[in-house]
Every structure is written in structure tokens, then in C-alpha cells.
């Protein structure tokens, strides 16, 4: 009886779309390198090499040579491809070269050897998500400062372009890579040898970023401590 019940239940599952998706509208944020506490001495490569390796590994699917096989999509509009659950979906190009100084191409150390580290921020994949407005990543130091912590965003203004949505799932959207925003921390002299608490949020859209019950919904907080 148990085996029969399980068999019947399995027949109701879709290979491409999860049956229950309670949190479709509010994905979480994550960073790369995969650590919420980043600390190193910029003069000691052994201390930051693991972060550089994480970034290089993560960006492999974004290599320009691989992304050349994907579509050049119209910016600012969703890439709708219908509801056919059999036909494989096309993916929009997101080349690592879009990340410029944080691509690891011109600077294989991603700024860590200069004490100006790059952090990659990504939004979790959610099937069918269509964020309204103009979603972008915005970061700031959580502790009040006399002068704001300086940063550069790649792509410009931290945009998560609509052309990368919706996502159709791992099986149908095999070539898909989610958009990434690189944040380069332009640390000043007073920023070294002290812990910086930085929060990044999704802004400019209908996505929730202030739910006190979930610290990762639409935002992520991490710590950086760089010494010279």
C-alpha cells in the first residue's frame, strides 16, 4: 500500500517545475567568494588565494568563449519563451568580461593583491521570477561613517537586467547563468586593519529586502577585514 501511494504521488510531479513554490517572489542573495567573513593581508598571497580560487571557479561558466553560444538579448525586457515544457529554452549571454575590473581577466587576483577586493553578488534562481521595476544591487557599510565606503559596480549601477528573466528550470534552461553584480571595494587608508560590515540589497524592484525573519531575503550581510 505504501509503495502504491508513493507511486501515485510521484506521477503528479513535474520534471521541470517544483510542485510547491511558496517564495517565488522573494529570492535570497548570496556572495562569492563563498564566505560571509573575508579577511586577509594583501601582502600575503597565501591568505587571499582561496578567495581568488573561489571566484575563478565560479566564473568558469561565464567565460566569453562559452557565452558566445548564447543569445544576445534585448536589454530591459523579459526574455519570454512560452510555456512549452518540452522545448529547450535559450539563454542570454552574460560574459565575465561584463564584470570588467572584477572579471579576473586583466587582474587574475580580482583586486585582492591591491587590497581592493571584488565581491560577486548573485540572486538565487527562482523559476518563473519576473522582477518588476529596474532591479539592481546596492551595497553600503552598516556602521555609520564620516565618509561613505567607496565602491564600484559592474555592470554599471549594479543592474540585474530583466532580459535574464524568467528562468525556466535546470532541465529546460540548461545553458542559463544568472546575472551577477561585481562590487569592487575601494578601500581608503582608514579602512585597513579594521572590520567592515557591509550589507547588499536588491533595490529598485518589488522584491522584498527588509524581512526581519529572513536575513537573506533580498539582501546579504558580510564582513571584510583587510590588512596591509
Query: 159-216: per-residue pLDDT in tens?
Result: 999 999 999 999 999 999 999 999 999 999 999 999 999 999 999 999 999 998 888 9
Say how many CA atoms lie within 13 Å of 52 toward its Cβ. Answer: 20
Residues 6+ positions from 76 with CB-CB distance below 8 Å: 161, 162, 163
Q: What pLDDT shows up at residue 57?
A: 98
Angstrom CA distances, 143 to 97, 192, 196, stand at 32, 15, 8
Q: How confident is the model at residue 16 (pLDDT cuts 50, 70, 90)?
A: very low
pLDDT of res. 23: 47
Residues 6+ apart with CB under 8 A from 192: 115, 226, 227, 228
Q: In the chain, what is the greatest distance between 2 CA atoms, to the nearest angstrom? A: 70
- Binned at pLDDT 50, 70 and 90, residue 225 comes out as very high
- pLDDT given at position 1: 59
- pLDDT of 157 reads 96
Assess contact for 112 and 51: CB atoms under 8 A: yes
Residue 37 has pLDDT above 50, yes or no: yes
> Using CA atoms, how far apart are residues 171 and 88, in angstroms rounded to an integer?
8
Q: Which region among 16-20, 31-35, 68-72, 148-152 has the lowest average model confidence (pLDDT)?
A: 16-20
CA distances from 156 to 82, 119, 153 (A): 30, 15, 6
Amino acid at each position: 500500500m505504501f509503495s502504491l501511494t508513493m507511486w501515485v504521488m510521484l506521477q503528479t510531479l513535474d520534471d521541470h517545475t517544483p510542485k510547491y513554490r511558496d517564495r517565488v517572489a522573494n529570492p535570497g542573495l548570496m556572495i562569492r567568494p563563498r564566505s560571509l567573513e573575508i579577511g586577509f593581508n594583501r601582502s600575503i598571497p597565501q591568505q587571499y588565494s582561496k578567495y581568488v580560487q573561489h571566484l575563478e571557479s565560479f566564473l568558469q561558466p561565464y567565460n566569453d568563449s562559452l557565452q558566445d553560444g548564447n543569445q544576445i538579448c534585448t536589454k530591459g525586457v523579459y526574455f519570454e519563451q512560452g510555456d512549452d515544457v518540452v522545448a529547450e529554452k535559450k539563454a542570454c549571454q552574460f560574459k565575465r568580461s561584463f564584470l570588467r575590473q572584477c572579471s579576473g581577466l586583466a587582474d587574475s587576483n580580482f583586486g585582492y593583491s591591491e587590497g581592493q577586493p571584488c565581491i560577486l553578488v548573485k540572486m538565487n534562481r527562482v523559476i518563473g521570477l519576473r522582477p518588476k521595476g529596474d532591479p539592481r544591487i546596492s551595497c553600503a557599510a552598516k556602521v555609520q561613517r564620516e565618509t561613505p565606503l567607496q565602491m564600484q559596480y559592474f555592470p554599471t549601477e549594479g543592474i540585474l537586467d530583466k532580459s535574464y528573466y524568467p528562468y525556466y528550470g535546470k532541465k529546460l534552461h540548461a545553458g542559463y547563468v544568472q546575472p551577477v553584480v561585481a562590487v569592487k571595494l575601494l578601500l581608503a587608508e582608514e579602512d585597513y586593519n579594521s572590520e567592515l560590515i557591509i550589507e547588499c540589497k536588491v533595490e529598485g524592484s518589488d522584491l522584498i529586502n527588509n524581512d526581519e525573519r529572513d536575513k537573506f531575503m533580498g539582501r546579504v550581510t558580510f564582513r571584510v577585514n583587510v590588512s596591509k
